[in-house]
Amino acid sequence: MINTLVEKIKKTNAPIVVGLDPTLALIPKHVLKKNYDEYGADLNGVAKAIVEYNKTIVDAIYDIVPAVKPQIAMYETFGIPGLIAFKETVDYCKSKGLVVIGDIKRGDIGSTSTAYALGHIGKVTIEGKEFKGFDEDFVTVNPYLGTDGVKPFIDVCKEEKKGIFVLVKTSNPSSGEFQDRIIDGRPLYELVGEKVAEWGADCMGDSYSYVGAVVGATYPEMGKVLRDIMPKSFILVPGYGAQGGKGADLVHFFNKDGLGAIVNSSRGIIGAYKQEKYAQYGPANYGDAARAAVLDMKEDIVSALA
Amino acid sequence: MINTLVEKIKKTNAPIVVGLDPTLALIPKHVLKKNYDEYGADLNGVAKAIVEYNKTIVDAIYDIVPAVKPQIAMYETFGIPGLIAFKETVDYCKSKGLVVIGDIKRGDIGSTSTAYALGHIGKVTIEGKEFKGFDEDFVTVNPYLGTDGVKPFIDVCKEEKKGIFVLVKTSNPSSGEFQDRIIDGRPLYELVGEKVAEWGADCMGDSYSYVGAVVGATYPEMGKVLRDIMPKSFILVPGYGAQGGKGADLVHFFNKDGLGAIVNSSRGIIGAYKQEKYAQYGPANYGDAARAAVLDMKEDIVSALA
């Protein structure tokens, strides 16, 4: 799957992933109303509205980006109906040829991590038949529990030719509280980065590993160091746009081959219609606004890399 | 909710939580067959079998334990039907008067952590009406992202009078890879423990905080230190039984009031019927075997504490 992601990035010339992180505040009122009227103003109605919202955005951008990243928390908050909307979103994005990165940040130990891995990027066998729970292409994984927690995901990656992005240095303001603490003269995130490189070494695609890392755009200097520590790992970079990261901050997340990173924007794309810059589209044309925002983001990143 | 947990522990004299972590290998064959025949040998059939299995166990133990802890990974692995079984399990356990600890190990940043918190221990508001997604009483939370990731859960705890257990020192063999690394002369898990105490200080129940910690039974010496660092935090202790922890290892996880810890056992209880010790019950009476195993565990812990 890492090979597929690399190919799609080359083809679109857009190292961009669109975060499908719907919230009640982002979904246009007319979409909510229509679905509330049809399905009820409840968890189910919201879930249906989410799917419509996502599909419209995906239809508007699927030919210019390689990947999407639905954040499962934004679906899980609406209980079972929300998770059904997550699954429908994953399936729809895959039907449009997009690589789907499930932003699930799971992580547990041994057989429990295996259960998450099988449910999200693998399969379970029931009476000799195989079934897939969610079937994303990549997922994000939390490393706090150590190798025991990550290895089961890697085993499933090898089996299924799928991939993971391990949290190394997250984009939020307090990420340094534990991640930046100095251990033997170096911050914790560097040690986690070394582990990512080590874990990834024995499950390589053509040029990059199935095991990638998450490093926030908001910490460009740390991104530079981590790029060197994990030369074969793709870096998933959150924090662009709404969280403050800019194209110029991203240069060092990439390798000299122009690859090695994929930059996420969520609100900046799916909520573009709410920004002054794209106000001319209006809430009715939120898909077109999202497309315009992707093209601007691409310009920003590609020109910074040039 | 921490007050309710303390009361229930006193009433049952059992600082025990039963982990409802069903797997295909643990569910007796006759339960699987019955549900496959009725609902199909697929994700849905497994989900129905899980609910039957859990209900039988809960019926057998609900009067002698204060709490249960369903591990969501074991449900999520079966996709949407599995998560429906999780929700039905939570609801059933609450209907029997049990405190439900959702072992979800979630953790993200800002609004994303808020979304998880609202979905699991809070509520969402749709057109002025409130809806609850999963509605557990407590959840487990991963601290790797720092205060930004944990604070949203705490805010919801305050609002809803619910609680969390933050991962501090996990029970698995490789937990030390990052958690034990020395920072300013002390291991990372101690720093996390200090944060737990700090986070918990401003949301106190009568004698304990809404903010607890997870510390593995497999590391009793570390449990002793962490007990002192977090005197007002309840400690959820996994790793008893199948993972190797014994009653005698647990003494230092408790405070002098005989409270402050709740010990989890999963396979050791729900799979008791498969152990030689409880073989006389047979697979048909797996509920009775689970009850016998709980009573033995209670004896082991209470006598160690005496």
B76–A133: do the CB atoms touch at under 8 Å? yes
State if pTM tops 0.95: yes
CA neighbor of B168 nearest in space, from B205, B210, B222: B222
Q: How far is A11 from chain B (nearest CA, A)?
A: 31
CA-nearest of A174, A227, A234 to A204 is A234
Instruction: Tell me how far apart the alpha carbons of residues B294 and B263 are, in angstroms, rounded to a whole number.
Output: 11
CA-based nearest residue in chain B for residue A118: B77
- Residue A107 to residue B142, Cβ atoms within 8 A: yes
Nearest to B178 among A46, A71, A188 (CB): A188
Q: How far apart are CA A100 and CA A183, in angstroms?
A: 35
Q: B146 and A119 in contact by Cβ < 8 A? A: no
Separation between Cα atoms, residue B259 and residue B207, nearest integer Å: 10
Annotated catalytic residue, options A94, A96, A105, A123: A105
Q: Is A224 a catalytic residue?
A: no
Q: Mind listing the pLDDT tens digit for each residue in A170-195? A: 999 999 999 999 999 999 999 999 99
Q: pLDDT-based confidence at B36, cuts 50/70/90?
A: very high
Domain extents in chain B: 2-305
Chain B CB within 8 Å of residue A266 CB? no
Is the minimum CB–CB distance between B76 and chain A shorter than 8 Å? yes
Q: How far is B239 from chain A (nearest CA, A)?
A: 11
Residue entry with tokens 């705890």:
B157
Burial of A275 (0-12, 13-18, 19+ CB in 10 A): middle
The pLDDT-based confidence of B246 (bands split at 50, 70, 90) is confident
Q: CA of B106: which chain A residue's CA is closest?
A: A106
Task: Please indicate if any CB of chain B lies within 8 Å of the CB of A163.
Answer: no
CA atoms of A22 and A262, how far apart (whole Å): 20
Nearest CA in chain B to A121: B77
**Which of A3, A16, A141, A11 is CA-nearest to residue A67?**
A16
Structure confidence at residue A117 (pLDDT): 98
A181/B contact by beta carbon, under 8 A: yes
Is A36–B119 a contact, with Cβ atoms under 8 angstroms apart? no
Q: Locate the chain B residue with the closest alpha carbon to A122.
A: B77
pLDDT tens for chain A, 306 residues long, are 999 999 999 999 999 999 999 999 999 999 999 999 999 999 999 999 999 999 999 999 999 999 999 999 999 999 999 999 999 999 999 999 999 999 999 999 999 999 999 999 999 999 999 999 999 999 999 999 999 999 999 999 999 999 999 999 999 999 999 999 999 999 999 999 999 999 999 899 999 999 999 999 999 999 999 999 999 999 999 988 767 778 888 999 999 999 999 999 999 999 999 999 999 999 999 999 999 999 999 999 999 998
Contact B115 A46 (CB under 8 A): no
What confidence tens digit (pLDDT) does each residue in B201-210 have?
A: 989 999 999 9
CA distance B106 to chain A (A): 7
pLDDT on residue A248: 84
Architecture (CATH level 2) of domain B2-305:
Alpha-Beta Barrel (3.20)
Say what the alpha-carbon torsion angle A220, B105, B162, B301 is, to the nearest 10 degrees.
-140
